[in-house]
Amino acid sequence: MAENIRKNPVIIITGTPGTGKSTHAELLASSSTVPLKHINVGELVKQKSLHDGFDEKWQSYLVDDDKVLDELEPLMEEGGVILDWHTCDIFPERWIDLVVVLRCNHTMLWDRLEKRNYPLHKIQENNESEIMQTILDDARESYAEEVIVELKSESTEDLESNVARIQQWIDNWLQSRKAQVSE
């Protein structure tokens, strides 16, 4: 049986809260040369009740990973998806073509999270996670090194450059797929 070859890639845009994941994903989805569906996994969890309740202390949902994966599985075969979430290691490696880990100076990140009115303990935890590059390490433990890219996300210029770089990657991916199909 021939392997199903997706027409468009599946991309994860991940990083500590406040690094610009949703902004990057929205801009990429709206400007891409191929159709890409932006899925904000945190919003999906709320909308579809893919959780086991709400943690008042951390002001976040207790995500049911299995429910999330079951919800997303049918979309992965077709491709053309940007998964936007603060973690990446729950997604099966076979689903993912590119993992973009956004990084930000921790002082700038602190300011961004304060503007979102995050509780102090949540700002501190996320800031420490960014300093310790927790999400980047999780990505490296879960996916092949060649599908991971770490990008700085501190300015509008970074945003524009990053989206252009990801689009170039998509174009290269599509060329590679065309070559595979024609073989």
Is there a contact between 159 and 24 (Cβ–Cβ < 8 Å)?
yes
What are 9-22's pLDDT values in tens digits?
A: 999 999 999 999 99
24, part of any domain: yes
Q: Confirm whether residue 23 is marked as ligand binding.
A: yes
Q: Confirm whether residue 16 is marked as ligand binding.
A: no
pLDDT of residue 183: 62
180, part of any domain: no
126, part of any domain: yes
d(Cα 100, Cα 46) in Å, to the nearest integer?
A: 24
Domain extent at residue 81:
10-175
43, part of any domain: yes
pLDDT of residue 182: 67
Q: Confirm whether residue 20 is marked as ligand binding.
A: yes
Give the CATH number of the domain where residue 62 resides.
3.40.50.300
Judge residue 99's burial from the number of C-beta atoms within 10 Å of its C-beta, 0-12 exposed, 13-18 middle, 19 or more buried: buried
Q: Higher pLDDT residue, 139 or 55?
A: 139
Residue type, 170: I
Q: How many domains does the chain have?
A: 1
139, part of any domain: yes
Is there a contact between 41 and 84 (Cβ–Cβ < 8 Å)?
yes
Q: Confirm whether residue 15 is marked as ligand binding.
A: no
183, part of any domain: no
Q: Confirm whether residue 18 is marked as ligand binding.
A: yes
pTM here is 0.93
26, part of any domain: yes
Other CB atoms within 10 A of residue 16 CB: 29
Q: Confirm whether residue 116 is marked as ligand binding.
A: yes
